[in-house]
Amino acid sequence: MHKIIAAILLVFMSAFVIGQEKLTTEKAIEIALENNYGIRLAKNLESVAENNTSKFNTGELPVFALNSNAAYGATGSEIRYHAESAPGSSAWLVHGVDVAASVSGSYLIYNFGNRELKKQRLQEALTLASLEKRKTIEYSVYSILVNYYYLAQMEENLRAQEEILQISRDRINRVQLQNQFGRNNKLAILNAEVDMNRDSIDLMNLKQQLDNQKRDLNFLLGRVVDSAFEIDPGFSFVANLSLDKLLDEALSNNIGLALAEQDILMSQLDIKVNKTNLKPAITANGSLGLLGAANSPKASIKSQFVTDFALGVGLSWNIFDGGYNKVRDSNLQIVLDNQEILREQKTSEIRLNIHNAWETLQNQLYLMKVEERNMETARLNFERTSEQFKLGQVSSIEFRQAQLNQLNAQLSYNRARLNAKVNELTLLLNSGSILEGI
């Protein structure tokens, strides 16, 4: 009966797994590029920077303004004399409507490069926003891949734990059968049950951790956190990595260094823009206006309309601003010096990080090979111990120890493999080639 129930559950679980999405690293990154929250925000900021480079925001077009006004007015008078015999008088004499409308325009003809420099700075701000987007993408991809490979490790751990649990179940069946034939006592059964319960609890905890990790990955992908999926637990390492190549790529592709270079370029433009603030500006302006009035019959003028048209060229020159521009220029020079120091610091930091990550990777790859040999040794030892246990040549304690040794060896190998992969990803991130190492 138990076998029938287990078979039914296996069929249902198989159908559930088949119906789940198969999520590869390439598919995960494709989803993230569309849905990841940070990447979407970075794309919007890039769009804002792109909009700012439009000719409608760079002062290349003239400016026009329309003004109009209409008013109703009435004029009244009241007259009184000192002599009481002279009668006074009062009356509304005039009322009428006044209207006015005008169109004015202005255009900056030349301001000694200020407009062109500001336009160039907006273009560089767009480049900066693009670099910021690239940084967000690279770090998001790094986080997603680390999460993905951590899931792969957890699934391998889960399979190992399931095998251990099955071994413990078989052990219970064996010791119960042996007890029936008087080959052991009740204590052996109790010990086997305790070990099986511990293995069941460990498996349950691993499944919970796996579910949590899947929700974390879904969040990074910017989709519903309880979306069901399966991953490919296998992964390989990038071939032909070399320290010299990674250093060369980092100095030309590292996103932090690229941002530092861009900050320097923008600081240089800020200094140039500031120097043009004390240069003259030549503008053209013009206006067309219409004034009109319609009066009551009591007024001497029935109506009046005046048209005004003017064209002109103006020159404005901020000869002295009290020293504000000089102070600003000095501060901008200091900012530029700081940016260059930060570039030097970033270059040194990149070299440090790559050397450290490279040595760590070599160490982890070596440990992975050692753990793989240990895993094989533990497997052979358990197989030998298992045969001896069946023959009654070793105790249940020795059997359990061999069982745990096999599990721990498998977990240690999985951990070493994950650590090596994470260090490889760190190298690729620092070298600016994380997207090439998927």
Residues 169 and 258 in one domain: yes
pLDDT reported for residue 257: 96
Residues 14-36: pLDDT tens digits?
444 445 789 999 999 999 999 99
Rounded Cα–Cα distance for residues 289 and 200 (Å): 90
Q: Measured between alpha carbons, how far is residue 385 from residues 187, 252, 400 in Å?
A: 20, 56, 9
Determine the residue type at 413.
Answer: Y
Q: Is the pLDDT of residue 93 over 90?
A: no
Residues 53 and 102 in one domain: no
- Domain end, chosen from 316, 331, 366, is at 316
pLDDT reported for residue 17: 44
Residues 388-402: pLDDT tens digits?
888 878 888 898 899
Say if residues 88 and 80 touch (Cβ distance below 8 Å): yes
Residue given tokens 């325009």 in the structure block: 105
Q: Is the pLDDT of residue 424 over 90?
A: yes
* Mean of pLDDT values over 312-335: 91
Top-confidence residue, 179 or 70: 70
* 206 falls within a domain: yes
* 381 falls within a domain: yes
pLDDT grade for 262, boundaries at 50, 70 and 90: very high
* Mean of pLDDT values over 207-230: 95
pLDDT reported for residue 302: 59
- Domain end, chosen from 289, 316, 343, is at 316
Q: Pairing state of beta strands 303-316 and 281-295?
A: antiparallel
- Domain end, chosen from 267, 292, 316, is at 316
* Mean of pLDDT values over 104-131: 93
pLDDT reported for residue 321: 84
pLDDT grade for 289, boundaries at 50, 70 and 90: confident
Rounded Cα–Cα distance for residues 172 and 188 (Å): 9
What is the CB neighbour count within 10 angstroms for residue 15? Answer: 9
Rounded Cα–Cα distance for residues 269 and 332 (Å): 10
**CATH number (domain holding residue 54):** 1.20.1600.10
Rounded Cα–Cα distance for residues 72 and 121 (Å): 51
Residues 197 and 260 in one domain: yes
* 32 falls within a domain: yes
Share of the chain above pLDDT 70, in %: 86
With CA atoms as reference, report the closest residue to 25 among 192, 131, 143.
143
Q: Is the pLDDT of residue 92 over 80?
A: no
Rounded Cα–Cα distance for residues 22 and 10 (Å): 19
Residues 172 and 304 in one domain: no
Residues 198-213: pLDDT tens digits?
999 999 999 999 999 9
308's enclosing H/E stretch is strand 303-316
Dihedral (Cα; 324, 325, 331, 335), 10-degree rounding = 140
Range from 34-48, 171-185, 302-316 that averages highest in pLDDT: 34-48
Residues 41 and 183 in one domain: yes
Mean pLDDT lowest among 8-17, 313-322, 415-424? 8-17
Residues 273 and 299 in one domain: no
pLDDT reported for residue 85: 62
pLDDT reported for residue 84: 62
pLDDT reported for residue 204: 95
* 149 falls within a domain: yes
* 143 falls within a domain: yes
pLDDT reported for residue 166: 92
Say if residues 144 and 32 touch (Cβ distance below 8 Å): yes
pLDDT reported for residue 2: 41
* 394 falls within a domain: yes
pLDDT reported for residue 16: 43
Mean pLDDT lowest among 48-57, 73-82, 220-229, 242-251? 73-82
Residues 297 and 347 in one domain: no
* 13 falls within a domain: no
What is the CB neighbour count within 10 angstroms for residue 292? Answer: 15
The residues with which 224 forms a beta bridge, in sequence order, are none
pLDDT grade for 12, boundaries at 50, 70 and 90: very low
Residues 398 and 272 in one domain: yes
Q: Is the pLDDT of residue 297 over 80?
A: no
pLDDT grade for 156, boundaries at 50, 70 and 90: very high
* Mean of pLDDT values over 168-183: 79
Say if residues 298 and 263 touch (Cβ distance below 8 Å): no
Rounded Cα–Cα distance for residues 13 and 22 (Å): 15
Residues 239 and 276 in one domain: yes
pLDDT reported for residue 412: 95
Q: Which long-range contacts (CB under 8 A, 24 or more apart) does 8-17 make?
A: 17/230
Residues 115 and 83 in one domain: no
Q: Is the pLDDT of residue 247 over 90?
A: yes
* Mean of pLDDT values over 146-167: 94
Residues 287 and 276 in one domain: no
Q: Render 190-246 in DSSP notation, one character per residue.
A: HHHHHHHHHHHHHHHHHHHHHHHHHHHHHHHHTS-TT--EEE-------TT--HHHH
Greatest CA separation found in the chain? 150
Q: Is the pLDDT of residue 88 over 60?
A: no
pLDDT reported for residue 255: 95
- For 253-266, give one letter per residue: b (16+ CB within 10 A) or e: bbbbbbbbebbbeb
pLDDT reported for residue 10: 46
pLDDT reported for residue 318: 87
Q: Render 120-146 in DSSP notation, one character per residue.
A: HHHHHHHHHHHHHHHHHHHHHHHHHHH
* 82 falls within a domain: yes
Share of the chain above pLDDT 90, in %: 61
Rounded Cα–Cα distance for residues 425 and 128 (Å): 25
Average pLDDT, the chain: 86
pLDDT reported for residue 177: 78
Range from 83-87, 97-101, 191-195, 407-411 that averages highest in pLDDT: 407-411
Domain residues for the domain of 241 are 21-61+111-280+323-436
- Number of structural domains the chain divides into: 2
Residues 212 and 77 in one domain: no
pTM (2 d.p.): 0.84
Residues 410-419: pLDDT tens digits?
999 999 999 9
Q: Is the pLDDT of residue 331 over 80?
A: yes
pLDDT grade for 7, boundaries at 50, 70 and 90: very low
Q: Is the pLDDT of residue 9 over 50?
A: no
